[in-house]
């Protein structure tokens, strides 16, 4: 069973709009921009045998702030330019009480079942407490990108880094060769 690196989308692989210390997902395709080093990081992880799967909350579709077609166009860019293995999306809001919305581990557990992934050898990389708690709940090691955002719940990740590229170095050092 191969391990995976699960990646949050906004703030990990693409830029967020930060207003008043809080991150916001891009709402228009013109706002969607990959962060520096992301392609290199994903290439390294895949080269060492890790599955790379994006797990992302996108409640703006449910609330009508972003069109579903726009999110799908963003994901087409991620799939084509970065070559990730899969993208799992939760369109719910907290009030829906679904099993997939992070901090619940539903998307990670679903991907693990579909891809026959060893969660104990896997990593969750995110920029928010929800990502870290989802990874912990799934039994993964966790990597926090950045120092969190203003007013965010503080969590203890296994590692803290400044970027996905730095996270890839930490993961390869901590996890070794996946294959």
Exposure of 160 in the CB half-sphere (CA atoms within 13 A): 9
CA distance 85 to 83: 6
What tokens does 170 get? 């930490």
Could you report how far apart the first and last alpha carbons of the chain are, in Å? 9
Catalytic residue among 8, 60, 85, 127: 8
- In the numeric block, which tokens belong to residue 21? 């210390």
Q: Name residue 18's beta-bridge partners.
A: 23
Catalytic residue status for 8: yes
Distance from chain centroid for Cα 48: 19
CA-CA-CA-CA dihedral for 32, 171, 49, 71, to nearest 10: -20
Active site residues: 8, 10
């Amino acid at each position: 069973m191969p391990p995976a690196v699960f990646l949050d989308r906004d703030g990990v692989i693409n830029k967020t709009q930060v207003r008043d210390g809080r991150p916001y997902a891009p709402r228009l395709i013109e706002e969607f921009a990959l962060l520096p080093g992301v392609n290199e990081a994903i290439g390294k992880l895949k080269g060492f045998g890790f599955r790379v799967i994006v797990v992302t909350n996108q409640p703006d579709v449910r609330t009508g702030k972003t069109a579903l077609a726009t999110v799908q166009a963003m994901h087409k860019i991620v799939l084509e330019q970065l070559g990730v293995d899969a993208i799992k999306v939760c369109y719910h809001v907290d009030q829906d009480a679904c099993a997939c919305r992070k901090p619940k581990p539903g998307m990670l557990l679903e991907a693990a079942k579909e891809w026959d992934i060893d969660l104990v050898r896997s990593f969750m990389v995110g920029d928010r407490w929800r990502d870290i708690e989802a990874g912990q709940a799934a039994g993964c090691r966790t990597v926090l990108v950045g120092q969190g955002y203003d007013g965010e719940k503080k969590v203890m990740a296994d590692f803290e880094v400044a970027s996905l590229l730095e996270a890839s170095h930490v993961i390869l050092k901590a996890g070794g060769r996946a294959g």
